[in-house]
Amino acid sequence: MKNLLSIVLSFCTLSAFTQINVPVEEETDLAYKYRVSTTYIMTDLFLVDWNKRTSTQMIEFHVKRNLDKKNIVGVKFATWRLFQPMGITWWDGLLDKLETESEFYQGHVRETGIGITYQRMLWKGLFATAEILPQFQKYLDLDGNKIGNGFKIYNSYHLGYHISFGKKKRIFIEPQVHCQHWMLDNNAPDGFKELDDKWRNYFLFEPNIYFGVKF
């Protein structure tokens, strides 16, 4: 039932991409057609030991194009490393479990993928975004040896605010909150699967900040 709901949500998200109608006259009014961005979570690369047990080793980039003043589409590349299930939410005692290490995998899961994004400007800087990210998974033991492969479809839904800076408004930040769910994540090795099955296939209300430049 969960997988069926996830598939329906994914098709609804994809339909948003297919229904965009771009007025040519609005496109000519845009100062910048393209933008690139990343997330502050990538500071993990610089502030945390890359090989630390709890390092997510996260890299994420977005390249987007303004279709008009309201609609923005793009491509997302992301890779990260999980040390415990993603479905442990705030009210499950997420922070406490980080301290006790009670839900840590006996290894890590490396997830990498390229997906698509659709961003809709709602009012002034307020926006909503939907992202679909198919991911290939590589399961590793504590020594870094590969013990399995998997596949995952990771979807996220964002609500945030776009703020531009500078004389030409090229630099921007986008504080936001997002919710995510995933499906087809059913090929985990024993041990990993036992932990994953204990928790949800979604995570709600994750704060984030994206920053980038327009050109």
Residue 132, amino acid: I
- pLDDT given for residue 1 in this prediction: 39
Helices (H), the chain: 2-18, 24-27, 44-47, 94-100, 192-198
Torsion from C-alpha of 142, 97, 95, 194, nearest 10 degrees: 70
Q: What percent of the chain stands above pLDDT 70?
A: 84
Cβ(128)–Cβ(178) under 8 Å?
Answer: no
- pLDDT given for residue 79 in this prediction: 97
Handedness of CA 44, 45, 46, 50 (dihedral sign): positive
Report d(CA 128, CA 206) in Å as an integer. 14
> Length of the chain in residues, anyone?
215
pLDDT exceeds 50 at position 212: yes
pLDDT exceeds 60 at position 173: yes
**pTM recorded for the entire structure:** 0.83
- pLDDT given for residue 15 in this prediction: 44
Cβ(57)–Cβ(50) under 8 Å?
Answer: yes
Report d(CA 67, CA 26) in Å as an integer. 9
Q: Is 96 helix (H, G, I), strand (E, B) or coil?
A: helix
- pLDDT given for residue 185 in this prediction: 67
3-state secondary structure 180-193: EEEECCCCCCCCHH
- Average the pLDDT over each of 19-23, 36-40, 71-75, 189-193 and give the range with the smallest value: 19-23
Condensed to tens digits (0 to 9), the pLDDT of residues 8-55 reads 344 444 444 444 444 433 443 478 999 999 998 776 666 778 888 999
Torsion from C-alpha of 199, 209, 52, 78, nearest 10 degrees: 70
The pLDDT mean for the chain works out to 86
Taking alpha carbons only, the member of 9, 54, 8, 15 closest to residue 156 is 9
Extract the runs of DSSP E, i.e. beta strands, from the chain: 34-39, 59-66, 71-82, 108-123, 126-140, 146-161, 163-165, 171-183, 202-214
Averaged over 81-108, what is the pLDDT? 94
Averaged over 166-190, what is the pLDDT? 90
Sorting pLDDT into bands at 50, 70 and 90, what band is 6? very low
| Joined tokens for residue 75 | 């491509």
Residue 152, amino acid: K
